[in-house]
Copies of this chain bind each other. A is one copy, B any other.
């Protein structure tokens, strides 16, 4: 399957010309971020919590404490969803009305299940860690049995998904194009900043390659 099928749940209603269902695009957006926003229901109110994730094939992997209220509530839901958003730029049109943002956003729908097998859990934790910062797993001390036992790992098996992408310049009304107002896009990038060594770090330990090589996937304006 190379496209997700449009169903009521994943069909993009507003701004549907920006909607995409291509699996490769959706997975590339998922794979270039590591924080998702997951909604869960608490006493009838939907609450959103950000959490780190990784992807293995057609599943999103998340983890938390054994008592994580958000995660436990996902198990009780018929369908779980989550959102991943890259904020790529601010679109400055001539009219306020056509101001917008450039972004790559994915909504995923599926069912949540606990991963309880130790080997699978360890693999999932490696995938999540590598999703946050590639190759860190090899540098750090991996989880011991006690840590593994106190971690809740969950897969959300992707059943439906959709992407919404805006990556073009400003689009004004024809009548406004003659105005003496600048139009364009201010791109926004996530950049690694300072690498701050812990105050209790042993002296003489070099900065890790994982951090030195870290790069976040930003997107540029596609010009016509």
Contacts and interface: CB of A to CB of B under 8 A. Distances in A.
Interface of A: 8-9, 13-14, 35, 37-50, 52, 64-65, 67-69, 77-79, 81-83, 85, 87, 89-90, 92-97, 99, 101, 103, 105, 107, 109, 125, 129, 132-133, 136-137, 139-143, 147, 151, 169-170, 176-202, 205-208, 210-211, 214, 216, 218, 220-221, 223-224
Given A182-B201, A199-B223, A201-B182, A140 B81 contact: no
B37 A85 contact: yes
A13 B192 CA distance: 30
A109 B185 CA distance: 33
A83 B190 contact: no
Given A47-B107, A94-B141, A195 B202 contact: no
23 contacts: A13-B69, A14-B65, A35-B101, A37-B37, A37-B48, A38-B48, A45-B78, A45-B81, A46-B46, A48-B82, A50-B85, A90-B214, A92-B136, A96-B129, A133-B186, A141-B181, A180-B205, A182-B201, A186-B193, A187-B196, A189-B190, A189-B193, A199-B224
A201 B190 CA distance: 27
Which secondary structure dominates chain A's binding surface?
mixed
A4 to B, nearest CB: 15
Count identical subunits in the complex.
Answer: 2
A132 to B, nearest CB: 6
Given A48-B39, A85-B35, A196 B181 contact: no
Contacts of A221: 194, 196
B179 A201 contact: no
A188 B198 contact: no
Contact of A96 (B49, B69, B137, B201): B137
Contacts of A85: 35, 37, 50
Contacts of A142: 96
A221 B48 CA distance: 25
